[in-house]
Amino acid sequence: MTEYRNAPRNEKTGIHVADFDFWYGDFHALTGVTMDIAQNKITSFIGPSGCGKSTFLRCINRMNDLIEGTRTAGTMELDGSDIYAAGVDPVDLRRRVGMIFQQPNPFPKSIYENVAFGPRLQGVTSKDDLDGIVEESLKRANLWKEVSNQLDKNGLALSGGQQQRLCIARVLAVQPDVLLMDEPCSAIDPTSVQKVEDLMYELAPEMTIIIVTHNMQQAARISDYMAFFLQEHAGEPATLIEYGVTSEIFSSPKDQRTEDYITGRFG
Ligand SMILES: Nc1ncnc2c1ncn2[C@@H]1O[C@H](COP(=O)(O)OP(=O)(O)OP(=O)(O)O)[C@@H](O)[C@H]1O
């Protein structure tokens, strides 16, 4: 293993991954991923289309379990506990490891109900407690000011950027340790992009954030660490090529393939 795929130095490890492989049925999508993802920092996953970024992201909260015939090999641990151990409840894992998708996907319910949904499932019943959680979550998602006087409005009636922040509020309401974001800004307007990026900065000190992005400028702006994935040959699994401090990868990539990608020579 090349040294530059190792853990960021002087950081606490949030997610430890070693020799991790993933298959969709017979299709071997990812191989040999080894990385320690820093706790309470922002890490971006970059790479050409189809190099397994989203697949790997979805392994972290076992979303791929929902796809028939998938399997994994290797180690993936959250705060030292095996994510794939027999006793792990994927629903509980997904509360700790929240996910935001490219297309905002609020429930067709009121803004209030969207945010209160998770806490209710966790057994919060008091109206005062729920009111408090809804307000706090919407504030943390930078949406409160825009919606505080219309909490009964259907979440789907909001703009795309507001819907995305509503989805973030919905995740924050159950107090996750990790936030996975799969191209969260690619379907929203530039002003909302700015708001989501501001929000990521604000949240990072208290949670581990991982973002898949095709936007190099965004990766450079927001991420502390960056991981470059590549499927080098068609039909062969993709893998992690280079991983490290974002500014260092941009200024002096150690692998020629990383350099070729970030300078726009392919992908
Ligand atoms: N549900 C699935 N079943 C079978 N193969 C899949 C499935 N989802 C993705 N794949 C395949 O796994 C590989 C990795 O796909 P993935 O979506 O993880 O890549 P990506 O890097 O996130 O791509 P993009 O940047 O285009 O979103 C691709 O070859 C893709 O076709």
29 in contact with ligand 1, CB cutoff 6 A: yes
pLDDT digits (tens, 9 = 90+) for 212-230: 999 999 999 999 999 999 9
Q: In what order do the strands lie in the sheet with 178-182?
A: 97-100, 178-182, 208-212, 42-46, 225-230, 239-245
235 in contact with ligand 1, CB cutoff 6 A: no
Give residue for tokens 């009636």: 157
24 in contact with ligand 1, CB cutoff 6 A: yes
67 in contact with ligand 1, CB cutoff 6 A: yes
119 in contact with ligand 1, CB cutoff 6 A: no
pTM of the entire predicted model: 0.94
101 in contact with ligand 1, CB cutoff 6 A: no
- How far, in Å, is the centroid of ligand 1 from the Cα of 132? 39
Given this model, what pLDDT does residue 120 score? 96
pLDDT digits (tens, 9 = 90+) for 92-122: 999 999 999 999 999 999 999 999 999 999 9
The amino acid at residue 260 is D
5 has a pLDDT exceeding 90: no
Distance (Å, whole) CA 27 – CA 236: 9
pLDDT digits (tens, 9 = 90+) for 114-144: 999 999 999 999 999 999 999 999 999 999 9
Going from N- to C-terminal start, the domains of the chain cover 3-262
Distance (Å, whole) CA 265 – CA 168: 34
**In the predicted model, what is the mean pLDDT of residues 12-33?**
96
Angle ∠(61,240,11) on CA atoms, nearest 5 = 70
- How far, in Å, is the centroid of ligand 1 from the Cα of 140? 32
> Which ligand 1 atom minimizes the distance to the CA of 214?
25
Query: SS3 for 160?
Result: helix
27 in contact with ligand 1, CB cutoff 6 A: yes
Closest C-alpha to ligand 1, atom 1: 67
Give, for ligand 1, the residue of 54, 72, 230 to mutate: max count of ligand atoms closer than 8 Å to Cβ: 54
Give residue for tokens 């970059």: 46
- How far, in Å, is the centroid of ligand 1 from the Cα of 50? 5
**Which among 246, 170, 227, 168 is positioned nearest to 203, based on CA atoms?**
168
Give, for ligand 1, the residue of 21, 28, 33, 51 to mutate: max count of ligand atoms closer than 8 Å to Cβ: 51
Contact criterion met (CB below 8 Å) for 141 and 169 = yes
| ipTM attached to this prediction | 0.97
pLDDT confidence bin for 150, thresholds 50/70/90: very high
Given this model, what pLDDT does residue 1 score? 39
Helix/strand/coil (H, E, C) string of 107-147?
CCCEHHHHHHHHHHHCCCCCHHHHHHHHHHHHHHCCCHHHH
Q: How far apart are the first and last CA of the chain?
A: 24
2 has a pLDDT exceeding 50: no
- How far, in Å, is the centroid of ligand 1 from the Cα of 147? 36
What string of DSSP letters covers 193-250?
A: HHHHHHHHHHHGGGSEEEEE-S-HHHHHHH-SEEEEEE--STTSPBEEEEEEEHHHHH
49 in contact with ligand 1, CB cutoff 6 A: yes
Look at the domain 3-262 and name its fold.
Rossmann fold (3.40.50)
203 has a pLDDT exceeding 80: yes
pLDDT digits (tens, 9 = 90+) for 41-71: 999 999 999 999 999 999 999 999 999 999 9
Of the CA atoms within 13 Å of residue 12, those in its CB half-sphere come to 11
Given this model, what pLDDT does residue 142 score? 93
Contact criterion met (CB below 8 Å) for 48 and 230 = yes
Give, for ligand 1, the residue of 53, 58, 229 to mutate: max count of ligand atoms closer than 8 Å to Cβ: 53
Q: What is the mean pLDDT of the chain?
A: 93
